[in-house]
Amino acid sequence: MPPVTLALLVGNLVVFLLQLAGGLPLFEWFALWPPALSGPRSGPSFELWRLLTYSFLHGSALHLMFNMLALYTFGRDLERLFGSSWYLQYYLVSVVAAALSHVVVTAWMGAPPFPTVGASGGVYGLLLAYGVYFPHRTLILLFPPIPLPARVFVVLFAALELYFGVTGTVSGVAHFAHLGGMLGGWLMIRLRRRRRGR
């Protein structure tokens, strides 16, 4: 297991165990609370560290399991391809881009403010990179279990996230954060290719 992928898996698991243990108001301190919630009567204030820390919190064991399965699936090959340092930068940029996209788009749409948690933004950034660099690898949908080439898998998930985000047909999910994670990943891929001259 490459070191950064392992560290992210362990870090997310440890934080979730701390959530289960209680005693610390982790959601209040570290979740992504939109600026609209700021103020003495409306909830925690908006601090910059929340653009990263929200990604280590999860709403349920199932939420954590799906994100960590995706991180394990995509992260190992991408860390070996990118190298640990660039891979970590890529992941964190995807996380921050996801947070910014969610805050900006939901404010623009007038959506009710709600705290956001989960590693999905970073995971969707990894999914994009996996489709770009391993386009012919086979990935299998969970429901229904249909095998698809990675590049088709990426396009399908991006289209679904855009549709669900615009229509609001699947509530309780930060669809624009997922798309923002993919956008951050795409920008990092362009930067990498420019630096490498291809």
Using one digit for the tens of pLDDT, what is the confidence trace for 150-194?
A: 999 999 999 999 988 888 777 778 889 999 999 999 999 999 999
pLDDT of 5 reads 98
User: Per the structure, how many domains does the chain have?
Assistant: 1
pLDDT in tens, 1-46: 999 999 999 999 999 999 999 878 898 889 998 775 444 445 566 7
Q: Rounded to whole angstroms, what are the CA distances from 121 to 85, 100, 118, 143?
A: 19, 10, 8, 21
Residue 160: CATH number of its domain = 1.20.1540.10
Q: Which of 4-18, 43-57, 73-87, 125-139 has the lowest mean pLDDT?
A: 43-57
Interatomic CA distance for residues 27 and 121, integer angstroms: 17
Beta strands 147-149 and 138-140 are antiparallel
* Tally of helices (H runs) and strands (E runs) in the chain: 8, 2
- For 106, the domain range is 3-196
